[in-house]
């Protein structure tokens, strides 16, 4: 975590959005709409950050379906032209 020069681009997007949101909230007078926009942006960017893992981390983060192949206990059926 200390070596911030090697963070992913999406992490930098989250940091910049957070800093911009903080400025927006403070400059806007802590309004509910400013807090809601910042929170919604953090949720969306956080979800994108989590789902787009780096290639060497594939298998360690979220996945939509299992990547393991299922072993079939039977052989493939023969075709009509195969004798």
Is 20 inside a domain boundary? Answer: yes
pLDDT (average), residues 29-44? 91
Statement: residue 63 has pLDDT above 60: no
Q: Looking at residue 67, what is its pLDDT? A: 55
What whole-number distance in Å separates Cα of residue 18 and Cα of residue 82? 64
Domain count, the chain: 1
28 domain residue, yes or no: yes
In a domain, 11, yes or no: yes
Distances in Å between the alpha carbon of 16 and those of 56, 65, 71, 76? 25, 32, 46, 54
Query: Is residue 43, in this structure, part of any structural domain at all?
Result: yes
Residue 76: is its pLDDT beyond 60? Answer: yes
The answer to whether residue 76 is domain-embedded is no
- Residue 43 belongs to what domain range? 7-57
> Which pLDDT score, from 0 to 100, does residue 30 have?
87
Q: Does the global pTM surpass 0.85? A: no
- Assess if residue 79 is contained within a domain: no
Residue 29 lies in a domain: yes
Residue 62 domain flag: no
| DSSP line for 23-44 | HHHHHHTS-HHHHHHHHHHHHH
pLDDT computed for residue 1 by the predictor: 58
Could you tell me the CA-to-CA distances from 63 to 25, 68, 71 in Å, in that order?
Answer: 34, 12, 21
Mean of the per-residue pLDDT values of the chain: 77
Please state, in angstroms and rounded to a whole number, the distance separating the CA atoms of residues 78 and 37.
Answer: 60
Length of the chain: 83
């Amino acid at each position: 975590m200390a070596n911030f020069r090697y963070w992913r681009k999406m992490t930098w997007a989250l940091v910049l959005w957070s800093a911009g949101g903080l400025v927006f909230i403070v400059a806007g007078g802590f309004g509910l709409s400013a807090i809601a926009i910042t929170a919604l942006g953090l949720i969306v960017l956080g979800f994108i950050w989590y789902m787009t893992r780096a290639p060497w981390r594939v298998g360690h983060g979220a996945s939509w379906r299992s990547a393991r192949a299922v072993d079939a206990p039977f052989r493939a059926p023969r075709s009509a032209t195969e004798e």
